[in-house]
């Protein structure tokens, strides 16, 4: 039988997976409020803290044209209690015809059913 901590971990992993898929892979910035707390703390210096800062930044980023073969994939999700880490891969072909790949990690803290804090390997 799963413990309460296991159930919490599974809920938090599902929340982060759905957030990443909906908002970042499918580029639905307007869905962010259902996943992020208003006082969301962002530890990446290139993205302002807070829900509004996140939405403004990603709305602008998503308006930029991507290479036709650009793909963002969620490869793995691991978690324990309120902490969830995801492993992602981005692939594309650059203007000079080179196939590119970027791998990264993002870590989230979930509080009361919403993402409260974010760190990433780029920060």
Q: Kindly report the CATH number assigned to the domain that includes residue 62.
A: 3.10.450.50
Which residue segment(s) compose the domain that 77 sits in?
4-120
The predicted structure's pLDDT at residue 26: 95
Domains of the chain: total: 1
Mean pLDDT over residues 46-73, rounded? 94
Residues 6+ apart with CB under 8 A from 93: 67, 69, 99, 100
- Mean pLDDT calculated for residue range 111-123: 88
pLDDT at 1 over 80: no
Read off the pLDDT of each residue in 100-119 and give the average, rounded to a whole number.
Answer: 96
């Amino acid at each position: 039988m799963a413990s309460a901590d296991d159930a919490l971990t599974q809920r938090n992993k599902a929340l982060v997976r759905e957030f990443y898929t909906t908002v970042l892979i499918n580029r639905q910035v307007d869905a962010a409020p259902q996943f992020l707390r208003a006082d969301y703390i962002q530890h990446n210096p290139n993205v302002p803290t807070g829900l509004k800062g996140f939405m403004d930044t990603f709305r602008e980023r998503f308006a930029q044209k991507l290479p036709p073969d650009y793909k963002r994939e969620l490869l793995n999700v691991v978690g324990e209690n309120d902490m969830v880490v995801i492993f992602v891969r981005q692939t594309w072909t650059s203007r000079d015809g080179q196939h590119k790949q970027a791998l990264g990690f993002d870590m989230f803290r979930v509080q009361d059913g919403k993402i409260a804090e974010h760190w990433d390997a780029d920060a």
